Amino acid sequence: MSQAPETSLQDIVSHAKEYGFVFPSSEIYDGLQAVYDYGQNGVELKNNLKSVWWKAMTQLNDNVVGIDSAIFMHPLIWKASGHVDGFNDPMIDNKDSKKRYRADQLLEAKAEQYAHEGNAQKAQELLNEMGRLLGANDLDAVRNLIIAEDIKCPVSNTLNWTEVRQFNLMFSTQIGSVAEDSTQIYLRPETAQGIFVNFLNVQKSGRMKVPFGIAQIGKAFRNEIVAKQFIFRMREFEQMEMQFFVRPSTEMSWYEQWRDTRLKFHKAVGLPAEKLKFHIHEKLAHYANAAVDIEYQFPFGFREIEGIHSRTDFDLKSHQEYAKKKQQYFDNDLDENGKPFGNYIPYVVETSVGADRLFLAVFCNAFTKETTGEGETLKERTYLKLHPALAPYKAAILPITKKDGLPEKAREIEKMLKTEFRVFYEEKDAIGKRYTRQDLIGTPFCIAIDHQTLEDDTVTIRHRDTTQQERVHVSELRAKIGYEVSEQRILELI
Ligand code: GAP
C-alpha cells in the first residue's frame, strides 16, 4: 500500500463540497466571496469539534465556565478595545487591473520568495523594514518599498499602484428603527470582548475566585481584504475563545500552562505532532506581553490555527475607563506577609482558536488517498481518517440484501445503537459501494447484517482505516464501538 501524491487544497475543496461538508455560500447566485456554508456532514464534524472544545474547557477545568454573549454590543466597547482606531489592514490597489491587495502580504510574499531562493537574510531584512514602516504607520514608505522591490500586480503585471490606505476590518450596521434615532454599531470582530464586559457579572453571580476562566463559542466578522484559501480566512467565521483571569505577575506561568494544554488538545483531536508547531511573536501587540500561535501544516504551508496571548490588564482597564465602572476584583487570599492581596484588575491569558480553521486542519489531516496493488489490480481508495469521536456518523448499519428479514433485523440494531451515537442506515447498492460511500465521509465502522446474523445474532464490523473485518455478537456492539467513538477518548488525552 502506498500513499498517493501530496494533497492539494483543491482536493480538499472538492471533497468537502461533493460529500456535504462545506459549500460556497449563495452558490446558485455565483457565491459570496469568503463566505461558506456547512453541509449535512460538515455541521456534524464542526459541532463535534465545538463540543469537545467546550468540554475540554468547562468540564475538565472546574474554574472555567462558559457564556454566550450577543453579537451586537455597545459601540464604545470597540473604541475601548482599540478596534475602531487600530483594527486595520494596509491595502493597495493596482490601477490597471483594479485588483486590491494587502500591502503587507505583497511584501511577505516577496520575502518568502527570497527565502525560497536561499537568501534568508534578505528575506528577514525586508520583513524587518516592513514591520518598522507599518509600526510607524508610514504608508507612503510602504508603497515605495513595494515599488523598490519591483513587486508587480500578478494580474496586470504592472507597478501602477495607488497609495496605501488603512482599511478597518469591522463591519458596521445601524441599530434603531428611524434613521435619526439610529446608532452605528459593529458586528463583533472577536468574541473576547463579550467575555471582558461580563467579567464581573460572571465573577459575582458564580462566586468565582481568581484564577478563573470564561469560555465562549460564537460568530465573529471581519471584512478581510484578501480572502482566499477556502475556509482558512473568511468574512464570517466562528471563534472558540477563553479568557483566563489571573493575579498580576502570575500571568507568565498561566500563559505557559495554557500554551501547553492547548497543544495537547490539538494532538488529542488527531493532528500529528510533526504537523504542529509554536510560532512565538517577537513583535507584540500593544496590549500583550507574550503571544504565541499554534500553527498547523496545511497544504499551503504552516499557518496559525490558534493564538495564545498574555493580554495584561489592557482590556479590563480600558473598559473601566470608557464605561466608568470599576472592573476590580477583591482578592482576600493572603500574600507572603499575611495581608490580603486586596483590590486589583486581573491580568488575562487568552486562548483563541477558529472553529473553521480547526475544522480545516482536521479535514486536511483526515483526507487520505491510498493505492494498493499494481497494473490491473491497482486500486485507489479515498477516505477520511477522522478521529471516530469527530466523524459525522459513528457507524453505518448495512443489511447485505433487502429481503429475507435482514432489513428488519438491521433496523432493530439501528434502534439499539442510535440512542447512544449517530448511525447511518442504508439498504441500497452492493455492500462494497456502500463501504466506499462511508469511507468518503469518514464513518469509522460499518456493520453488515447477513443471513448468519439471523441464525447466531452476530454481525460483521468493517473498520474504515484497515478495511479489516471481524465477527462480533450483537450484544457486544455497544461496548465495542461505544468507547471508540466517545469524546471521552479525546478528553482523556488533554
Ligand atoms: N481574540 C483574539 C483574536 O481574535 P486573532 O488571532 O485575530 O485573535 C484568533 O484570531 C483565531 O481566530 C485565529 O487563530 C483563527 O483561528 C481565527 N480567525 C481569525 N480570523 C479569521 C478569519 N478571517 N477566518 C477564519 N478564522 C479566523
Distance of alpha carbon 434 from alpha carbon 205, whole angstroms: 52
Tens digits of residue pLDDT in 172-186: 999 887 666 778 999
Distance of alpha carbon 136 from alpha carbon 145, whole angstroms: 14
Q: Is 346 helix (H, G, I), strand (E, B) or coil?
A: coil
Instruction: Please report the atom of ligand 1 found closest to the CA of residue 192.
Output: 1
Q: What is the model's pLDDT at position 377?
A: 82
Q: What is the model's pLDDT at position 378?
A: 84
| 22, 187, 352, 362, best to mutate for ligand 1 pocket (most atoms within 8 Å of CB) | 352
Question: pTM higher than 0.85, yes or no?
Answer: yes
Q: What is the DSSP letter of 160?
A: -
Q: Are 203 and 343 in contact (CB under 8 A)?
A: no
Distance of alpha carbon 234 from alpha carbon 220, whole angstroms: 10
Distance of alpha carbon 58 from alpha carbon 417, whole angstroms: 28
Query: Could you give the C-alpha distances from 207 to 196, 201, 204, 212, 329, in angstroms and in order?
Result: 17, 10, 5, 10, 11
* Ranges of the chain with pLDDT below 50: none
For residue 307, report the distance from its CA to the centre of ligand 1, in Å. Answer: 8
Between 103-116 and 120-135, two packed helices, what is the crossing angle to 10 degrees?
160
What backbone torsions phi and psi does residue 205 show, to the nearest 5 degrees? -70, -25
Q: Which residues line ligand 1 at a C-beta cut-off of 6 Å?
A: 190, 192, 222, 224, 233-234, 237, 239, 241, 304-307, 350, 352-354, 356-357
Q: What is the model's pLDDT at position 199?
A: 97
What backbone torsions phi and psi does residue 183 show, to the nearest 5 degrees? -125, 145
Q: What is the model's pLDDT at position 4?
A: 55
Q: What is the DSSP letter of 390?
A: T
The C-alpha cell at 220 is: 465573529
For residue 73, report the distance from its CA to the centre of ligand 1, in Å. Answer: 19
Beta bridge partners of 2: 371
Q: What is the model's pLDDT at position 1?
A: 56
Q: What is the model's pLDDT at position 97?
A: 95
What backbone torsions phi and psi does residue 235 show, to the nearest 5 degrees? -90, -25
Instruction: Please report the atom of ligand 1 found closest to the CA of residue 239.
Output: 12
Q: What is the model's pLDDT at position 177?
A: 74
Tens digits of residue pLDDT in 335-370: 889 998 999 999 999 999 999 999 999 999 999 999
For residue 359, report the distance from its CA to the centre of ligand 1, in Å. Answer: 13
For residue 234, report the distance from its CA to the centre of ligand 1, in Å. Answer: 10
| Residue 267 CA, distance from chain mean position | 14
| b (16+ CB within 10 A) / e for 142-155 | bbebbeebebbbee
Instruction: Please report the atom of ligand 1 found closest to the CA of residue 307.
Output: 14
Which residue minimizes the CA distance to atom 17 of ligand 1? Answer: 354
